Amino acid sequence: MSLLVVGLSHRSAPVSVLERAALSADAQVKLLQDTLAAEPAAEGAVLATCNRIELYADVDKFHAGVAELSTLLAQHSGVGLEELTPHLYVHYEDRAVHHLFSVACGLDSMVVGEGQILGQIKDALATAQELHTAGRLLNDLFQQALRVGKRAHSETGIDRAGQSLVTFGLEQLSAGRPVEAWAKDKKALVIGAGSMSSLAAATLARVGVGEIVIANRTPDRAERLAEILMGGDDTDVLARAVPMDSVPVELTRADIAVSCTGATGLVLTAGTVAAAVEGRTGTPAALRETAAGPAGHLAPADACGDDACPLDLSAVQGATGFSVMGEAAVAGMDAATLEQHAAWVDKGTGTVERRDGRRTPGEEAEADAEVIAALAATAAGLGRIPERRRPEPVAEAPRPAPVLALLDLAMPRDIDAAVHRLLGVRFVDLETLAEASADAPMAADVDQVRRIVSDEVAAFGAAQRAAHITPTVVALRAMAADVVANEIARLDGRLPDLDDKQRGEITQTVRRVVDKLLHAPTVRVKQLAAEPGGAGYADALRTLFDLDPETVAAVSRAENNTENAKNRGRA
């Protein structure tokens, strides 16, 4: 059997895909159960966080294992296999071990060095143990991953390379100001009372907010978290719990809101946030202007505002400030779409009244149709419009300072992404954090952590290879003990007059001879098996001593049962 991991994370998939592929707690349980029911897998564990979904398994066939695990991830995430496959990564044997150890140290996190992943790995192991899907391999793997992560944080300065997503998110919300100065005496609303929400509440208390309100669907958990915050020795924050239906009201009082729940739908809609802003300012929350541009130019939304328009120019990146005729507005569009739009304009429905009034609607439609037809012809020859020109700078009207800061750490998202268009709102979500952290500098300590990971991977591999031969060595010694017992019994038949002392001396002598003959070969074979490429020594022992494979398998099953019983006792 061999270790295999199939997964996707913020490094391989956009947040929109991760959001759709997010697994609920029930879905994770069902995924584990189906993994063990699959033919290639003997063990399974799921590591699901806000920015990764990974399925670990002990498989006997690589290609069959990859196919089966990929299919199971697609089935339980609800994202089609064809759409999911380009975003999946696969790690096998030592590479899979190296991947998990790197994850445990925070090297693969959105914010390098954050330590929250250790708690999530611990939870993944506990779930697998509770469902009895983790055997010796995954128990050893995840437990050593936890030790490696703790070692990295205690022996290096990896903590200086990054921080938790909460801290990083607050830094983005503070827009360059020191978080403590920005957050001081503010009122905060935390939606949810799970591990991430608890971390958010503790972080907010530490940076100096004056009041924290906890809203959760289970009131007891919210009240317990509020009590913990109030009882902290290092903060003097006021904390209280409220029911979830109080969120709209509390939002009108809050300066900061952090949401991280397990909800499958939106917790805060754009309408709710707009109402909260209006409640704070006394005026309706306006949308940020996107339609204004230099004379003779309109934003794409205005240039193609009719519902029947087949070309959604508002979705074209960088198109703001271009007329429908501008090449940059349609750069990258394929020929078929442009031709369809040209036909739509040619029917006279795509008229746009220019602010300078130099063209009539009919003249405008005719000109647009001609230009778009020419662009379509170019696209037909080259495949796509080849050029994107930058618009003239547009002076933006000054925006009011944000009155409400929103941080969405949930996957799938809790807060409607449309709130970023509301004036008076500063909004940060996982996608924002991924973009902001892409260019974050790496600390020098990262190299030291990587060396730790490499050493620990080698040690884990050696231990696993040595453990792989142990059942064979045990079976060999058991066979030798049977041979001794049979020979002593035969001796008793031939020499019935031996007294107990004589019989005992003979028995001990024979056992010592057998032990001395087996000692050096079994010790040496364990050492050789621990080295890279040493897996074949177990087969050699079985062949040389004609050991029954079923006897060896029975020893392995007995050891696994003992290990599982220990793990259940620890859980």
Rg of the chain over CA atoms, in angstroms?
33
Calpha distance 363→49 (Å, rounded): 56
List pLDDT tens digits, range 80-117: 999 999 999 999 999 999 999 999 998 888 777 778 88
Spatial neighbors of 66 by CB under 8 A, at least 6 apart, are: 4, 6, 90
Indicate whether 200 and 147 sit together in one domain: no
Q: Is 358 within the bounds of a domain?
A: no
Indicate whether 152 and 14 sit together in one domain: yes
User: Which among 161, 186, 211 is the end of a domain?
Assistant: 161
- pLDDT surpassing 60 at residue 523: yes
pTM over 0.75: no
Indicate whether 404 and 473 sit together in one domain: no
Indicate whether 196 and 71 sit together in one domain: no
Indicate whether 465 and 481 sit together in one domain: yes
259-279 exposure pattern, b = at least 16 Cβ within 10 A, e = fewer: bbbebeebbbebebbbbbbbe
Calpha distance 72→55 (Å, rounded): 9
- pLDDT surpassing 80 at residue 53: yes
- pLDDT surpassing 60 at residue 390: no
66, two tokens: 């990859």
Q: What is the 3-state secondary structure (H, E, C) of 355-418?
A: CCCCCCHHHHHHHHHHHHHHHHHHHHHHCECCCCCCCCCCCCCCCCCCCEEEEECCCCCCECHH
Structural domain boundaries, residue 230: 165-286+400-438
List pLDDT tens digits, range 227-282: 988 887 667 889 999 999 999 999 999 999 999 988 888 999 999 999 999 888 87
User: Which among 161, 191, 206 is the end of a domain?
Assistant: 161
- pLDDT surpassing 50 at residue 308: no
CA distances in angstroms from 341 to 338, 382, 468, listed in the order given: 5, 18, 66
Q: Is 95 within the bounds of a domain?
A: yes
Amino acid, res. 459: A
The answer to whether 35 and 55 have CB atoms below 8 angstroms apart is yes
Q: Is 308 within the bounds of a domain?
A: no
Indicate whether 417 and 548 sit together in one domain: no
Least confident of 232-246, 366-380, 488-502: 366-380
Amino acid, res. 79: V
Spatial neighbors of 382 by CB under 8 A, at least 6 apart, are: none
Q: What is the pLDDT of residue 30?
A: 95
Calpha distance 412→267 (Å, rounded): 11
Calpha distance 362→352 (Å, rounded): 9
Least confident of 183-187, 206-210, 296-300, 495-499: 296-300
pLDDT band at residue 342 under the 50/70/90 scheme: low
Output the DSSP codes for 487-544: HHHHHHHH-TT--HHHHHHHHHHHHHHHHHHHHHHHHHHHHHHHSTTTTHHHHHHHHH
Q: What is the pLDDT of residue 351?
A: 42
Longest dimension (CA), the chain: 128
Other Cβ atoms within 10 Å of 47 Cβ, number: 26
Calpha distance 410→21 (Å, rounded): 13
Least confident of 209-213, 287-291, 328-332, 556-560: 328-332
9-21 exposure pattern, b = at least 16 Cβ within 10 A, e = fewer: bbeebebebbbeb
Amino acid, res. 59: V
Residues classed as catalytic: 50
Q: Is 452 within the bounds of a domain?
A: no
Q: Is 390 within the bounds of a domain?
A: no
Mean pLDDT, the chain, rounded, equals: 79
Indicate whether 417 and 521 sit together in one domain: no
Tell me which residue has tokens 């494979």.
Answer: 549
Spatial neighbors of 2 by CB under 8 A, at least 6 apart, are: 58, 59, 60, 62, 92, 93
- pLDDT surpassing 50 at residue 493: yes
Q: What is the pLDDT of residue 395?
A: 56
Calpha distance 361→173 (Å, rounded): 45
Spatial neighbors of 364 by CB under 8 A, at least 6 apart, are: 351, 352, 353, 354
Q: Is 374 within the bounds of a domain?
A: no
Q: Is 532 within the bounds of a domain?
A: yes
The answer to whether 74 and 55 have CB atoms below 8 angstroms apart is no
Calpha distance 47→125 (Å, rounded): 8
Q: What is the pLDDT of residue 312?
A: 43
343-366 average pLDDT score: 49
Query: Percentage of the chain with pLDDT > 90?
Result: 37
Q: Is 449 within the bounds of a domain?
A: no
Other Cβ atoms within 10 Å of 532 Cβ, number: 10
Indicate whether 274 and 420 sit together in one domain: yes
User: Which among 137, 161, 185 is the end of a domain?
Assistant: 161
82, two tokens: 């064809």
- Binding-site residue positions for substrate: 49-52, 109, 114-116, 120
Amino acid, res. 137: L
Indicate whether 30 and 140 sit together in one domain: yes
List pLDDT tens digits, range 117-151: 899 999 999 999 999 999 989 999 999 999 999 99
CATH of the domain at 209: 3.40.50.720
Indicate whether 137 and 32 sit together in one domain: yes
List pLDDT tens digits, range 11-25: 898 888 888 898 988
Output the DSSP codes for 194-256: SHHHHHHHHHHHHHT-SEEEEE-SSHHHHHHHHHHHHT-SS---EEEEE-GGGHHHHHHH-SE
CATH of the domain at 115: 3.30.460.30
Q: What is the pLDDT of residue 367?
A: 59
Q: What is the pLDDT of residue 548?
A: 75
Query: Percentage of the chain with pLDDT > 70?
Result: 72
Q: What is the DSSP letter of 324?
A: T
Q: What is the DSSP letter of 55?
A: E
The answer to whether 158 and 113 have CB atoms below 8 angstroms apart is yes
Indicate whether 157 and 173 sit together in one domain: no
CB-neighbour burial class of residue 447 (10 A; exposed 0-12, middle 13-18, buried 19+) = exposed
Q: What angle do CA 341, 332, 312 make, to 5 degrees?
A: 40
CA distances in angstroms from 282 to 31, 285, 526, listed in the order given: 49, 9, 76
- pLDDT surpassing 60 at residue 360: no
Indicate whether 11 and 81 sit together in one domain: yes
Spatial neighbors of 296 by CB under 8 A, at least 6 apart, are: 323, 354, 355, 356
Local structure of 257: helix, strand or coil: strand
Q: What is the pLDDT of residue 440?
A: 59
Count the domains in the chain: 3
- Binding-site residue positions for NADP(+): 192-197
